[in-house]
Structure 1
């Protein structure tokens, strides 16, 4: 696909549903032993057996972003396994801050 074909959400969704991506994703997960590579770098172990509540525990991440480097879309060297938490942290998604209390519990 040409570079412009991964710019929209719809184009990216089509790519991520393609047979080529599904096959490459499966191979990258196997290569990385179904372990989050960022957790591993931090001395932790996170595999697909953790977080039983999650339907999808591991993602395959494009190290160089898909929309910027479409020619690397299926390149094994540009892909790594990350747990959902590390993947979201990398992209600054779903980072919740601790809520402030609605009222001050201090008594005067």
Structure 2
């Protein structure tokens, strides 16, 4: 059974031909649409945003770090837009700063 605990192991996995093939299958299965947005009644595809950094990811529903045997299981994967994928993993780079001043009118 493969282990994906270190950053190097994960990088090697995500560069593997097996993962690349599975990723394409998942994108096709999910019609190139973010499944999280779809559950909210929205449609998001990679065609909706011209910014090349906003793309679709294939997310492991159960992380490969904890469930390595599910790493190549198509039923453990779904398409998510980068925003939804980052939200799931609490990876927000730009968080709104709280105003340290109380600007409330008297």
Q: TM-score, normalised by structure 2?
A: 0.88
Whether the aligned pair in 2 keeps the contact of 1:50 and 1:57 (CA below 8 Å) is no
Equivalent of residue 35 in structure 1, options 33, 36, 42:
33
How many correspondences in the alignment?
Answer: 105
Equivalent of residue 65 in structure 1, options 63, 66, 70:
63
Aligned positions of 1:41-52 closer than 5 A: 41-52=39-50
Which consecutive unaligned segments of at least 5 residues does structure 2 have?
none
Q: Distance in 1 between matches of 2:100 and 2:39?
A: 39
Cα drift, residue 94 of structure 1 = 1.1
Which consecutive unaligned segments of at least 5 residues does structure 1 have?
none
Q: TM-score, normalised by structure 1?
A: 0.86
Is the aligned partner of 1:78 residue 2:76?
yes
Q: Distance in 2 between matches of 1:98 and 1:12?
A: 30
